[in-house]
Amino acid sequence: MSYGLLKGKKGIIFGALDQNSIAWKVAEMAHSEGAQIVLTNAPIALRMGEINALAEKTSSIVIPADATSEEDLKNLIEKSMEHLGGKLDFVLHSIGMSLNVRKNKHYTDSNYDFTHKGFDISALSFHKLMKTTYAMDAINPWGSIVALTYIAAQRAFPDYNDMADNKAYLESIARSFGYFYGKEKKVRVNTISQSPTPTTAGKGVKGFDQFIAYANSISPLGNASAEDCAAYTISLFSDLTKMVTMQNLFHDGGFSNTGVSQEVMEKFS
Ligand SMILES: NC(=O)c1ccc[n+]([C@@H]2O[C@H](COP(=O)([O-])OP(=O)(O)OC[C@H]3O[C@@H](n4cnc5c(N)ncnc54)[C@H](O)[C@@H]3O)[C@@H](O)[C@H]2O)c1
């Protein structure tokens, strides 16, 4: 069902890799809610070509950008405004990657080259993106910027490795940049802390299958799906959430506020 929540709005969506990506679902829903969008991803991710099907489905174009490159970001924002015919109303940062996770480096034995690279991609890119849109005055007043995060920023989840640190930094950037963006340009900045979700990034974490089942059994509503996350993201892009900024918003079926569930208790009785 469509409510026309984003009618007349323009935005950029980072991070749609394949049909499982959270960004993929956000792009589909933004389109059906009436938005005009530009899709972007790292040049290497675009080589797989799946994003072209999404572009066709959502009447959008794809502009490559490595989110760690300020030059790429500037080019992306410029070209997007040209294509969309004006300033932006929303941006989704749906980007994450840890080389330590990928290369099976234990947290206690981090490779710091990997740590730097993963930090640049997963956290600093959010600052670089906002530095660019801010300097170019590319976002309309009451526009909305959202990044995706995970509760490992607040609590220890051993196999999440250095992504926990990256997410803590990402959430902090949302508050720090959100202050200036709100004060100077009336633009909102929030992070959504999503349930574990079976995507390429999600499944890269060791023990993901057991973990997703555990989270589901703890959460009173069960795990939130990628589609649920897209719907929540759209609400943050809409005018219905105009006064929400600098928040880390848990979207996890109640996981974050649950100590223990009946199902887990039964396993020990
Ligand atoms: N899947 C989960 O369990 C889960 C839970 C909470 C939060 N998140 C977050 O959601 C976001 C989206 O991840 P997803 O689960 O949809 O997985 P995904 O693998 O589909 O998306 C990750 C994206 O990051 C992109 N990316 C990597 N390096 C990049 C770079 N240098 N420049 C631009 N893009 C780059 C990838 O190409 C990919 O499209 C991430 O921030 C992730 O940490 C995921």
Q: Tokens 């490595």 correspond to what residue? A: 66
Stretch (H or E) spanning 174? helix 163-185
pTM (predicted TM-score)? 0.98
9 contact partners, CB below 8 Å, separation of at least 6: 34, 35, 36, 89, 90, 237
Q: Considering the chain, what is the average pLDDT of its residues?
A: 97
**Is 105's pLDDT higher than 80?**
yes
User: How do residues 6-28 score in pLDDT, each as one tens digit?
Assistant: 999 999 999 999 999 999 999 99
For atom 29 of ligand 1, which residue has the closest CA? 42
Backbone angles phi, psi at 24, to 5 degrees: -60, -45
**Which ligand 1 atom minimizes the distance to the CA of 97?**
27
Q: How confident is the model at residue 207 (pLDDT cuts 50, 70, 90)?
A: confident
pLDDT of residue 205: 83
Please say whether the beta carbons of 190 and 146 come within 8 A. Answer: yes
Percent residues over pLDDT 90 in the chain: 92
Backbone angles phi, psi at 13, to 5 degrees: -120, 115
**Is 127's pLDDT higher than 80?**
yes
List, chain by chain if needed, residues with CB within 6 Å of any ligand 1 atom.
Answer: 14-15, 17, 21-23, 41-42, 45, 66-68, 94-97, 121, 148-150, 194, 196-197, 199-202
Among 18, 19, 22, 195, name the best residue to mutate to test ligand 1's pocket (greatest count of ligand atoms within 8 A of Cβ): 22
**Is 163's pLDDT higher than 90?**
yes
**Spans of all domains in the chain:** 10-267
For atom 38 of ligand 1, which residue has the closest CA? 15
Give the least confident one: 157-161, 220-224, 226-230, 252-256.
157-161
Per-residue DSSP letter, 155: S
Instruction: Give how far Cα 61 sits from Cα of 51, 54, 55, 83, 99, Å.
Output: 10, 9, 6, 9, 29
How many angstroms separate the alpha carbon of residue 88 from the centre of ligand 1?
A: 22
**CA–CA dist 99, 16 (Å, integer):** 19
**CA–CA dist 14, 197 (Å, integer):** 17
**Is 125's pLDDT higher than 90?**
yes
For atom 11 of ligand 1, which residue has the closest CA? 94
- Of 121, 236, 248, 239, the residue nearest 175 (C-alpha): 248
Q: How confident is the model at residue 58 (pLDDT cuts 50, 70, 90)?
A: very high
Helix 163-185 / helix 112-119 crossing angle, nearest 10 deg: 30
Q: How confident is the model at residue 91 (pLDDT cuts 50, 70, 90)?
A: very high
CATH of 10-267, one of 3.40.50.720, 3.90.79.10, 3.10.20.600, 3.30.360.10: 3.40.50.720
Please say whether the beta carbons of 226 and 197 come within 8 A. Answer: yes
pLDDT of residue 83: 98
Between 135 and 158, residue with greater pLDDT: 135
**Is 204's pLDDT higher than 90?**
no
Q: How confident is the model at residue 138 (pLDDT cuts 50, 70, 90)?
A: very high
- Of 173, 82, 160, the residue nearest 126 (C-alpha): 173
Tokens standing for 233? 């993201």
Cα dihedral 59, 62, 68, 74 sign: negative
What are the residues facing 252 on neighbouring strands?
Answer: none
Please say whether the beta carbons of 21 and 200 come within 8 A. Answer: yes
Q: How confident is the model at residue 49 (pLDDT cuts 50, 70, 90)?
A: confident
99 contact partners, CB below 8 Å, separation of at least 6: 105, 111, 113, 114, 115, 117, 118
pLDDT of residue 154: 98
Q: What is the mean pLDDT of residues 237-249?
A: 98
Tokens standing for 91? 């941006």
